[in-house]
Amino acid sequence: MVRRLLLAGYTVSVWNRSHAKTAPLAAAGAVAMVDLDQAVASAEIVISMLEAGPVVGQVIAAALPALAPNTLWIDMSSTRQLEARQFHETLQQRGIRFIDAPVSGGVGGAQAGSLAIMAGGSAADFAQAEAVLTAMGRATLVGPAGSGQVSKLCNQLIVGATLNIVAEALLLAQAAGADPTAVRTAIRGGFAESKVLEVHGQRMLERNFVAGGQVKTQIKDMHNILDAAQAAGVTLPVTELVTQRYLSIEQIYPQADHSAALLALELSNPGQRVGTAADRLG
């Protein structure tokens, strides 16, 4: 994402809690900062991309004293909606503006600058941020602060459920005597077509579970979805089932790719296995 900003001509200062991780970006033209205060003090826009909400909160708290009034903070991490609203409130009290803008598209989307970016904030703040976000992907304003996280949860709900359905389809094809590779080819282009079938269906056939999006991250997202559903007063029975499917492999393959939904399915169907390749788990 930093490289896409540099390619677009932006001057980018980078800071990481593990400073050594900034070295490749410094080599690409970014300005590596040792201190967080220095990194944010003169920035018109601050972008955070971190593991989860609690860490985002810690970094915001640490950066607050150095932020100039009217700075725009864009958090592109995946957090809870409530956390995003709390970040907005905390920053707003100090005269700092906020957009939550989580992404979808994985490492490939980040490298290509084709991320789906779901932004929550005011129209005026989004107008300022749009050119910067566009350097990294396709940005859409979906509502006020916190709405970006809701949109990301909707994305992850669909991805998580579809991964499990694709796994079931391929296992059924194999168990019923059809060629699962040919079945995937046959149904592509019809109503079953999706990015998940295209990318992760191929991963499953190759038994390539080296992580892009990790099982443990998908589980975090599934819990966040259920938390949001409870707060909104709705029940999501399929999401509850999908969460249980991922929990069934958490202790065995926590760092595998979330397409390891196939492994969970195979564990509950002893003797059934898609393909003959060896598992690649990284």
Which residues are marked as active site? 152
Rounded Cα distance, 99 and 74, in Å: 5
| The amino acid at 134 | T
Rounded Cα distance, 226 and 217, in Å: 14
Reduce the DSSP state of residue 69 to 3 states and report it. coil
Reduce the DSSP state of residue 16 to 3 states and report it. coil
Q: Which two tokens stand for residue 123?
A: 């129209």
Who contacts 109 (Cβ-Cβ below 8 Å, separation ≥6)?
A: 103, 115, 116, 137
Query: Any idea what DSSP says for residue 279?
Result: P
Rounded Cα distance, 63 and 81, in Å: 21
Q: Which two tokens stand for residue 8?
A: 């677009």
> Which residue has tokens 């492999």?
249
Rounded Cα distance, 46 and 145, in Å: 16
